[in-house]
Amino acid sequence: MFFESLYNFESRPEGVSLISNLPCTFSLDEEVFNSQGDIILDHDYNVHIRTKIQIDFHRYHQIISTTTWSGNQDIILNKHRFSAFITNISWSMESETATIIFVPNSQPFLFEGDSQTRLSKVYFHLFDFKAKTGTSTEMVRFGDSFVGIHKIELASMKWKVELHSVPDENNQNNFYPKLSHIGCLSRIDGLMFDGKSAQQMIVDLQYFFTFCQGVFCRPIMPVGFDEHENRVWALANSPDQRIKVSW
């Protein structure tokens, strides 16, 4: 068994939708809009929120004339409120819709579950983590061949973390962050824990991985599961170190 990515992180010019169709509410020019929002990983590996609203050109022109682009906008995504700013708004004559791009002012931002959500484990993703070998190796089938998955096990008095390397399909290097490991966080005694504890551990792991790496390195897009393997908690963040971090 090896851990698999919970998201598709493959960069594309138009960006990749990590999560789609989340209820999204925001206001522009004193008008409240209810729509659906997607959490997008753009081609520069930045995370933002993309939403569309039905609007005619006259109202669209009013909005872009009155919107304070340098100011913060409150946005409610999947019942979670946070502050963001608009980086782009465009209008389609064909569909008479405006596409709006929001970037949260800080990361990570919670969009599923809360501080009291009960969890049995949290999976997360690491980009460009330099540990190439682990404490053990397991041969697994990947596509048409077998590859070695390197496993790293970390443990404290209370927590345990297991990292699995991600098979390199093409061995290509480029200037973009590359998914290198999938991690799993859980209690060493197997007991449940809450969302607040999980978020604090994500902070602590960021410091630990950054220390090990020698440069900024943090767990990306963590997802928590309950004892029945149901997804119940999730944070969104970017591997881009230029993004402001909320902690």
**pLDDT, mean of residues 9-32:** 87
Residue 166 vs residues 46, 79, 127, 247: alpha-carbon distances, Å: 21, 33, 10, 28
Percentage of residues in the chain having pLDDT higher than 70: 87
Structure tokens at 97: 């819709």
Sequence-separated (6 or more) residues with CB below 8 Å from residue 173 = none
Give residue limits of the domains in the chain. Answer: 16-106, 112-236
**pLDDT, mean of residues 118-123:** 98
Confidence at 232, pLDDT banded by 50, 70, 90: very high
Q: Which residue has the higher pLDDT, 212 or 124?
A: 124
DSSP class of residue 239 equals: S
List the one residue out of 221, 197, 32 whose CA is nearest residue 111: 221
DSSP class of residue 116 equals: T
Task: Enter the CATH code of domain 16-106.
Answer: 2.40.10
For residues 209 and 152, give the distance between their C-alpha atoms in angstroms, rounded to a whole number.
13
Looking at the predicted structure, is the pLDDT value of residue 68 above 70? no
pLDDT (tens digit per residue) in 81-100: 999 989 889 999 999 999 99
The average confidence (pLDDT) of the chain is: 87
Percentage of residues in the chain having pLDDT higher than 90: 58
pLDDT (tens digit per residue) in 123-176: 999 998 987 777 777 766 666 667 778 899 999 999 999 999 988 765 555 566
Q: Strand pairing partners for 150? A: 137
DSSP 41-105: E-TTS-EEEEEEEE--HHHHHHHHHH--TTS-EEEEETTEEEEEEEEEEEEETTTTEEEEEEEES
Q: Strand pairing partners for 84? A: 73, 104
Looking at the predicted structure, is the pLDDT value of residue 37 above 80? yes
Cα angle, residue 131 at apex, residues 151 and 123 outer, rounded to 5°: 55
Greatest alpha-carbon pair distance for the chain in Å reads 63
Residue 204 vs residues 18, 122, 209, 211: alpha-carbon distances, Å: 25, 14, 9, 11
What's the pLDDT score for residue 204? 95
| Three-state secondary structure of 152-210 | EEEECCCEEEEEEECCCCCCCCCCCCCEEEEEEEEECCCCCEEHHHHHHHHHHHHHHHH
Looking at the predicted structure, is the pLDDT value of residue 46 above 80? yes
Looking at the predicted structure, is the pLDDT value of residue 26 above 50? yes
Confidence at 246, pLDDT banded by 50, 70, 90: very low
What's the pLDDT score for residue 45? 83
Confidence at 247, pLDDT banded by 50, 70, 90: very low
Q: Which residue has the higher pLDDT, 195 or 171?
A: 195
